[in-house]
Structures are given as C-alpha cells and as structure tokens.
Structure 1
Amino acid sequence: MWGIVSYVLDSSVLLSGKDLLLDDMYCTPEVLREVRSKGPTVQLMSMIETKVEVRSPSEEAMAKVSELAGKTGDVKRLSPTDIGVLALAVDLQATILTDDYSIQNVADEMGLAYRGLSFPNIQKKIEWGYRCKGCGRHFDEWKKECPVCGSEIRTTPKTISRISSASSDKNE
C-alpha cells in the first residue's frame, strides 16, 4: 500500500528557489532561522508558512544522530542545524531532502531515506578518519593538533563503500 511520504527539508533546499510540489513537508526551527537570515523572497516565506510544518526534533534523536555522526567521522562536517534535520527525520521516519553529502552519508548509515534536489545522491558512503599532516599518524577522533609532533590534523577517508541504488529510496 502506498502512503504519503513525509519530507524533512534542509536550508539549501528551501533556498534553492525550486518549486517543491510535495505534500507533507517539515523543517526545524534552526532551518527556518537560516532561511530567514538569507533574506528570503515573499513567495518562499509564503510557501513555508502555508506548506511546511516547523518542528523541533526530540533530545533522544539528537543524541542518537550526534553519536552516530561521531562514529562515521561526519560530526565535524555537520552543523547543529544539520544534526537537527537528521534527528527530525528519525522522529518522523521521513525522507530527507538535501544536497548536503554529509547529511546523506549519516542518513545512509542510520537507514534513513534521502534525496538530492539539485545534485545526485551520494554514490559512496565514507567513514572519516584523521591523519597528521606532519608525521602521518592516524587517529579515530579529531584532535586540534597531533599529540606526537604538534602538526595539523587533516580529515581523510578511512573507509569507502559503494551504496546500492535502493539505499536512498527506503521510503519510496
């Protein structure tokens, strides 16, 4: 049986200027704040006010997303707003509409459906690690500087795996 698919929208999707002809759309208060800070058009604000429900994610979902983003190494790439988008999708079991590859990476790891709007979905899932620019040592957690030589720590892919074409279409 086909049901209505709910969508959680990130800021870039709302600011893209594209018509969103979807029925069940949500965003977080932080997404709305980001959109308002960019000087949105009257049409965009009208669409948000009439077609998008603004909801806050649960604390439990926020903690779950933050923990998993730490494990994939995406935690440094995600803003608090991004974490909120993922958490709201967890709460609603909704499809995330985003062109942000870090959000898609974590969504895939969590088993959440996602779709890109202006760009194709990610093709590979990346687990991020950290490597010292000076001595080359690898770390599982981000550090400001290498504890061995004091050099800068860089983010680097630790593992890369191919995503099946059905991964991003879990709800559809």
Structure 2
Amino acid sequence: MARFPEGLVLLGDAVCAFNPLFGQGMSVAGLGAELLHECLREQARRSPGNLEGLAQRFRKRLPEVIRLPWFMSTLMDLQYPRATGKRGPGMGLLHWYIRRMLERSSRDAVVHRQFHCVLHLQSGLGAVLQPSVALAVLTHGAKALFVPLRERANTDTLPPPPEARPPTS
C-alpha cells in the first residue's frame, strides 16, 4: 500500500501465511505478539498516551520475526520438483544438507536437538551450522556415498526421499 492506515497493526496469517505442515504459523504469530508488546513498551517510554508512529515502527521490525521461519518453510517446500518458486544458487546444496541432517538426527541426539531448536524457532540457523553439528552432518554425507541409507539412518521412521515418492496429480 502506498499509505498504510495509522493505528492498524497486523499479526499472524494476516501478514504471512505458512505451510501448516511445519507448524510455525502460531509460533510466528506469538513472536509477532511479543514484538508488539516490546514496541508498546518502547512507545510508552517514548511518548506516554500517544500511539502515533507505533504501527509503522512495528511493521518495519516484523520482518525480523518472519525471515527465518519463512526461509525454512519455503526451502523445504522447494525441494519438491512440482513446487513453484524461485530456486536460487545453492538451493540444491541446502536441500542436500537438510536431508543428510534429517538422516543423521535419526541416530544423533545432539544433531536432533539442534535441528528441533531451529525448527521450533528457539535458535537461529547457526545452531545447525555450528562446527559440531556441521561436521557430523558432513561426515554422514560422505558416508552416503558408500553406505546404504538403511545402515546409516533410522529408516523405520523416516519418510522416503523426495525422488522416491510417486508424483501427485
């Protein structure tokens, strides 16, 4: 909008709707509500009793809350060939890393914990890129060249890889 109405604040799906499969919509709405609370406290200190400019300042900071979960959600969606959207440089490498991380997390509690901290928005992407996790994932990825999936991951509870799934009509 060229001019957004003063005093109007949007949260949750009104701002950004997530794939419900990943269960992040309510979490992002909650983080947005926390940001609004923070902005209201700052506004009360800055100008008690006056809400002018609050909505605009909140809108400028809300992308900070949305950026990581949106990236993760779209990244996961775009691993499927039939999904539409721009696949930037390095996307295939990220998909490879995530698949190896999911495999490794089926047998490695540290990788599993860090992955879930990111998935549940308790940590940033750095949690799954820190050396101890990245080394475990990359080592696991090297094994993938020589060791069958059933021997390197708990395949009893893993869904089949995207390339093995039948196409949907």
Alignment TM-score > 0.5, same fold = no
Q: Which has the higher contact order (CA 8 A, sep 6+)?
A: 1
Judging by fraction of residues, say which structure has more strand: 1
TM-score norm. by structure 1 comes to 0.26
**TM-score, length-normalised on structure 2?**
0.26
Q: Which has the higher helix share?
A: 2
